[in-house]
Amino acid sequence: MNPKKMGDKKDVERTTGYILGGVSPIGQKKRLTTIIDDSALKFNTIYVSAGRRGMQIELSPKDLGSQTKAIFDEIGK
């Protein structure tokens, strides 16, 4: 895969309609590619944004991957 980086604040808001920090991988208005660090698979559950800054949802990495058709890759090096 190509190198990954966090999006620019303005680009994130323009592309997703959400503010940076409030972009949830679940229930996006426009489906974007979700990439999950493969180290998440070491955990029974993880927390991801629930669509609002400060609000999270807890679920298994496998459930998140299947619900979002995510790609698991090494991104947190």
Cα dist from 65 to 14, 38, 54, whole Å: 25, 11, 22
What pLDDT is stored for residue 22 in this prediction?
78
Query: Mind listing the pLDDT tens digit for each residue in 10-58?
Result: 998 898 888 887 788 988 888 889 999 999 999 999 999 887 778 899 9
- Average pLDDT over every residue of 2-12: 78
pLDDT at 1: 55
Map out the domains of the chain as residue ranges.
9-73
- Of residues 66 and 20, the one with the higher pLDDT is 66
Query: Under CATH, which number does the domain 9-73 receive?
Result: 3.90.960.10
pLDDT at 30: 83
Residue with tokens 């972009």: 23
Residue 61, classified by CB atoms within 10 Å of its CB into exposed (0-12), middle (13-18) or buried (19+), is buried
